[in-house]
Amino acid sequence: MQFSASFSGFKKSRTVQVLGAIALSLGLSQTAMAQEENIEVTPLQQVTQQELAAIYVLSEVCPALVTDKAKFNQGYAQLAQEYMPKEKDAVTALNKLSKQKSFQPILKEARADAKAAGTAKNKAICQELTAYSR
C-alpha cells in the first residue's frame, strides 16, 4: 500500500509522508503478527514534531471514518506510546502538546495535509490503525 500526494507539482508534504510511513509501519506490524513472527516495526529514535502532529491529527480525523471506535482508540494509544515511550500516558501527553502555542503551526500544517490527502487515504490509514490494536 502506498500513500502519497502530489500538490500542484510541489514536493510531497512532510506530514503526508509521515502518515504514509505510519500506515506502512502499521501494515508491516500487522503482517508480522499475522505470520506469528517475532518482528517488531519501531519508529525512528528521533521523533519529530511533525510526526507527533500527524499522529495527533489521526485522533481528530479517524473517529468519523471508523466504525469500531474502541479498537481505533486502542490502536491510537499503542501508536502514540510507541512514538512517546518515555511518557506514562502518551495520549494525554499528545493532547497537552496539541494545546501548546509553539505546536500550533505544526498542527495546522498537519491538519491541512490530512485534508489535502482526502477521505479515501485518511480512511485507509484509520482502518490500518484500528487493526493495529492488539
Q: CA-CA distance, 45 to 127, in Å (whole number)?
A: 25
Contact 98, 42 (CB under 8 A): no
Q: Could you tell me the three cell numbers for 86?
A: 518515555
Candidates 4, 10, 15, 5; CA nearest to 61 is 15
- Per-residue pLDDT tens for 65-93? 999 999 999 999 999 999 999 999 999 99
CB 51 within 8 A of CB 80: no
Segment 7-63, tens digit of pLDDT: 333 334 454 456 665 655 555 444 444 444 444 445 446 889 999 999 999 999 999
Q: Which residue, 81, 57, 64, 86, is CA-closest to 133? A: 81
Domain segments of the chain as ranges: 14-132
Q: What pLDDT is recorded for position 46?
A: 85
> The whole model's pTM is what?
0.69
Q: Please report the pLDDT score of residue 71 as a whole number.
A: 94
The residue among 120 and 46 whose pLDDT is bigger is: 120
pLDDT of residue 80: 95
CB 23 within 8 A of CB 60: no
